[in-house]
Structure 1
Amino acid sequence: MALSRYDGCGETKLDCVSPGGVCFDPRFVGGDGVTFYFHGRKDQDFCLVSDTNLHINAHFIGKRNPNLKRDFTWVQSLGIMFDNHKILVGAQKTSKWNDNVDHVVMSFDNTTISLPPNEGSKWNSLVMPSVTVTRTSNTNGVMVEVANNFKVIATVVPITAEDSRVHNYNITDEDCFAHLEIGFKFYNLTDIVDGVLGQTYRRDYVSKTKVNVPMPVMGGQQRFSTSSIFATDCSASRFGLNTNRRDGVAEYPILHCSSGMKGSGVVCKK
């Protein structure tokens, strides 16, 4: 759960170091509390979560680093599928960043979602009242929830000049690589859930990453690769399968977590 339990705002503040957090380039905190990185590839889509009635893909943007064998990547948008519905949450491309300008783009079943630029403003689906979108700040922050299925908090952030200098991203004035930092909470996952993040919520999951290194990296990008933001054709797909559900197994309601050295790890206790 990447939502703060201790703020007074009804769990609407993003927390990148708790289970379900997907932030930075991109760093994941699994349902088991273990922190890892999944770099994928720029301009491609990858399956983050795939269960019988929930499938979440992420579109990665990035830059090629000639000194590395991988791209620098960030999550630009999410394609969320459940029942027969689709939700898109994305970060709009921009050159110069302005905190007062909203860079969030959203749609439900291909219809644009528009919200007044006021924290707390809310949108409800007329065809499916269980779907709500709420602004968590005047601009660049939203919470999307489907009752009894999932909640996601998404904040659009840029790559700053300081980030670029420290990490050698070589970001220019043409594109600040606006991207999403995300916190997920899941209410009703099954034990066959898969995906880069989803697999870490299974009861039998054992992390294969080297957690004792500064940047533990999860591989398997071919297994999680999908053909588009709303495709369910990754090898890890479970969407549409039938199975018996386990109520609430993935909520981890009493996990207490703290960050590791300089945020590079997470320790959780039940």
Structure 2
Amino acid sequence: MRLGAMWVFILFMLCFLATVRAARPVITPRIVKCRSTSFPACFNIEVPCPLACLRTCLLDCVSCKPVCSCNTPGAICEDPRFVGGDGITFYFHGRKNQDFCLFSDPNLHINARFIGKRNPNLTRDFTWVQSIGILFNNHKLLVAAKKTSKWDDAVDRLAIFMDNNPVSLPAAEGSEWKSPAVTATRTAAANRVTIEAVGAFRLNVAVVPITAEESRVHRYNITEDDCFAHLEIGFKFYNLTDSVDGVLGQTYRSDYVSKAKVNVPMQVMGGADKYLTSHILATDCLASRFGSVNGVSSIKKGGIEHSTMKCSSGTEGSGVVCKR
């Protein structure tokens, strides 16, 4: 009887495991390519994303290998999880519906708009980066995730504005838009783009939703009226000074020592008030270095023009609007 009962139990467990495995959603790995002709040995070769990041990897054209974009220096993902220039991972929660200075150097300034939800069981908001505003060489670039209720990978929810004008990219992987200042290239037919300003920065952006599974695991309590579409971002910077500041920027200084609390499982950076700014294209945060000389703050004509603009980053609509 004991032996028979054991076999019954074993058969029951095998059937149970088979049912659970069958119920799991099958995630097809994203196929990525190197689209830089500067690397002919890797150009246009198709490689699947690794198991650790089946939908969010990038192809490193130098090694011709896929890398998890949320784990490389300059990455901003999730609730917001940052990977600093020093390689250390930390969280910066900010506050919902407010703008924060991520990066500030004399010739480059980057702000982020945070959206989120209040959890009554916590003293902070759940937050995500909904849009970024970049000031460089007298240009203004805005990249935003449009608000949406039901998520569909095939529907583009990405909005890009260059110097107040919308950037129109055909809905096809590899399509390009060029100006004298930047080049934007779709890395998927929808919701993914690479933007490069030569000599200043390269930006990999993906618009992603909060999935039902993420909401369940983290208790976000996401409802069907808003999936909180947000940006996952990977930065690469060129020609930085050692006075660079901002939530992410400070981690690129040679003398930077991490302020994140290292004795807790989730390393959180505080000091939100230092990085708070008045809007997505303002340069008035306490950490601002934009327009400065040798790290000493000074106001130039371009800085005045940018700081007197009022912008709505599309949290309630489909675009980004800036007015004097």
TM-score relative to the length of structure 2:
0.71
What is the match of residue 120 of structure 1? 174
Match of 1:158 in 2: 209
Change over 3 Å in CA distance of 1:11–1:79 after alignment to 2: farther
Aligned to 1:200: 251
Distance verdict in 2 for CA 1:156–1:76, change over 3 Å: same
Residue of structure 2 aligned with 1:66, choices 109, 120, 125: 120
SS in 2 for 1:16: helix
- Cα deviation, 1:14-60, whole Å, max 9, x if unaligned, reads 61011101000000000001000000000000000000000000000
- Partner of 2:71, secondary structure, is coil
Please say if 1:92 is aligned against 2:143. Answer: no
Q: Is the 8 A contact 2:59 2:66 kept in 1?
A: no
Whether 2:209 is the aligned partner of 1:137: answer no
Q: Which residue of 2 aligns with 1:49?
A: 103
2:285 corresponding residue in structure 1 = 234
4+ long deviations beyond 6 Å: 8-14
Give per-residue Cα distances to partners, 1:52-91, cap 9 Å, x unaligned.
0000000000000100000000000000000211000000
- After superposition, the CA RMSD in angstroms is 2.0
3-state DSSP of counterpart to 2:69: coil
Which one of 61, 79, 83 corresponds to residue 29 of structure 1? Answer: 83
1:172 corresponds to = 223
Larger radius of gyration: 2
8 Å Cα contact 1:14-1:154 kept in structure 2: no
Deviation digits for residues 119-176 of structure 1 (CA, Å, limit 9, x no counterpart): 1111011xxx241111011000011110000011010000000000000000000100
Change (3 A) 1:14 1:102: farther
Measured in 2, the distance between the counterparts of 1:9 and 1:131 equals 25
Q: In structure 2, do the counterparts of structure 1 residues 178 and 207 end up closer, same or farther at CA, with 3 Å as the change threshold?
A: same
Give the Cα separation in 1 of the matches to 2:212 and 2:100: 28
| Structure-1 separation of matches of 2:68 and 2:259 | 27
Matched positions, count: 240
* Mapped contact 2:60–2:67 kept (Cα < 8 A): no
**TM superposition score normalised by structure 1:** 0.85
Asked if 1:15 is matched to 2:64, the reply is no
Q: 1:9 to 1:106 in 2, by over 3 A?
A: farther
What is the match of residue 270 of structure 2? 219
Q: Is the CA contact 1:115–1:123 (under 8 Å) kept in the aligned structure 2?
A: yes
Matches within 5 A, 1:249-260: none
Cα distance in 1 for partners of 2:73, 2:123 equals 28
User: Unpaired runs of 5+ in structure 2?
Assistant: 1-55, 296-324
* Structure with a larger share of its residues in helix: 2
Mark the runs of 5 or more structure 1 residues left unpaired by the alignment: 245-270
Could you tell me the percent identity over the aligned residues? 65
1:98 is paired with a residue whose SS is coil
Structure 1 residue aligned with 2:135, among 62, 81, 84? 81
Letter aligned with residue 236 of structure 1: A
